[in-house]
Amino acid sequence: MSHPLDTLEWPVRTRRLLLRRATPEDVDATWAFRRLPEVYEWLGAATPTYDAYRERYFRGTRLADMLIVELDGRVIGDLMLKVQDAWAQQEVADQAKGVQAELGWTLDPAFGGQGYATEAVRALIGLSFGPLGLRRLHADCFYDNEPSWRLMERLGMRRETHSVKESLHYTKGWLDGLSYALLAEEWNARPDGQPQR
């Protein structure tokens, strides 16, 4: 079964970056920054060893959902686009198949603070609402992961939920969680698909 990302032409270039599909050969380059404590502290799975990371990297559709972010030929991050069905009543369920997606991102902290994550995720949003024809994107994070929710706000995503102590962190215990979303109609209403702030 093909993945929606298979329908696009790769690689995709932004002003400074190159986005491309992840390959099995990217496992070491992504492990280089995902193994850092300041990175894995906020990931959905803080894989403590290379072997555990490698096993997770190749599990299920993970590789198909992943894009690589390169700067001048160097892997500096990765993105996730997990296409999903929307909830729908049975009578219209066929119209809700593959119409939305969950976004995710990880950036090597050595390249933080220079707008690379914003540039890469902005491009992914543009692909999602443009050629992929999705209608809604969403992303979640711990409230304590301020850089992540600040990025979502920079991109014009709307905070939909602030849940109190519903997200369990492996070292910090129960933390608040945040959910953000963006509709294609909201994105497309902005000049050049850029958030208005």
**Among residues 69, 70, 84, which one has the least CA distance to residue 4?**
84
Which pTM was predicted? 0.93
Average pLDDT over residues 60-71: 94
pLDDT tens-digit profile of 144-197? 999 999 999 999 999 999 999 999 998 999 999 999 999 999 999 976 655 444
pLDDT recorded at residue 183: 98
pLDDT tens-digit profile of 18-54? 999 999 999 999 999 999 999 989 998 888 899 999 9
Query: Do you find a cis peptide bond into 11, omega within 30 degrees of 0?
Result: yes
Distance of alpha carbon 84 from alpha carbon 192, whole angstroms: 26
pLDDT recorded at residue 196: 43
